[in-house]
Chains A and B, each alone.
Chain A
Amino acid sequence: QQQVKQSPQSLIVQKGGISIINCAYENTAFDYFPWYQQFPGKGPALLIAIRPDVSEKKEGRFTISFNKSAKQFSLHIMDSQPGDSATYFCAASMTSGTYKYIFGTGTRLKVLA
């Protein structure tokens, strides 16, 4: 119930391509879904986040698509760049609770130059 499943585990994309990372959750009480980017040796940094009252949110080259009925959400990175090479984590939290994050297992993205 508390799990967030993330796929793929790793992803290789050509420069300029689209990177797509998917997450699924079970607990319908989750109502805040952030994506974090983590570079080696660094802490996770917030990339973009969405609430279930919208189906899509776009910030620059990053877009979250949200499917409430399927309990799935995905991150799309358009025009992927080598500098995007990092590990991406999706997360979910309940804003009615303590706001703790349940993280997905992470996706290691490598963008080839």
Chain B
Amino acid sequence: EPEVTQTPSHQVTQMGQEVILRCVPISNHLYFYWYRQILGQKVEFLVSFYNNEISEKSEIFDDQFSVERPDGSNFTLKIRSTKLEDSAMYFCASSPEWGKETQYFGPGTRLLVL
């Protein structure tokens, strides 16, 4: 069964450093999302992406964040200058054109900012 994959599974970085989290959505899916989950808290929406552009972003998704679909298969989340409060699990999700209401989540990347 096809699944969303994410790399790396864990990332430790120093405050102020740039990180890129990578996702490979399910092939032929057209809608892409990033969510984050701070330890012990609920999953929060960050950004949605469709047709090579951001369709919606949350208040969390400030100028330090960016997303890109560089090659038609990968979907990346970049944090330009990480802060301590960016420490969280980041989930990528994708959904198909037909049945777009159902999102399929990847296993997540645990980001720790020191």
Interface of A with B (CB < 8 Å)? 32, 34, 36, 41-46, 49, 89, 93, 95, 97-106
Contact of B42 among A32, A97, A105 (CB under 8 A): A105
A11 to B103 alpha-carbon distance, docked (Å) = 26
List the A side residues contacting B58 at CB < 8 Å: 100
B91 interfacial by beta-carbon distance below 8 Å: yes
Contact of B45 among A34, A36, A102 (CB under 8 A): A102
* Ranked 7 nearest A-B pairs via Cβ: A43-B105, A98-B56, A103-B43, A98-B48, A100-B45, A105-B42, A32-B101
Q: A43-B91, A46-B104 are in contact. Are A98 and B55 (CB under 8 A)?
A: yes
Q: In the complex the two chains form, is B103's CB within 8 Å of A101's CB?
A: yes
Q: In the complex the two chains form, is A99's CB within 8 Å of B43's CB?
A: no
B33 interfacial by beta-carbon distance below 8 Å: yes
Contact of A99 among B4, B101, B105, B106 (CB under 8 A): B101
Q: In the complex the two chains form, is B45's CB within 8 Å of A45's CB?
A: no
B55 nearest CB across to chain A (Å) = 5
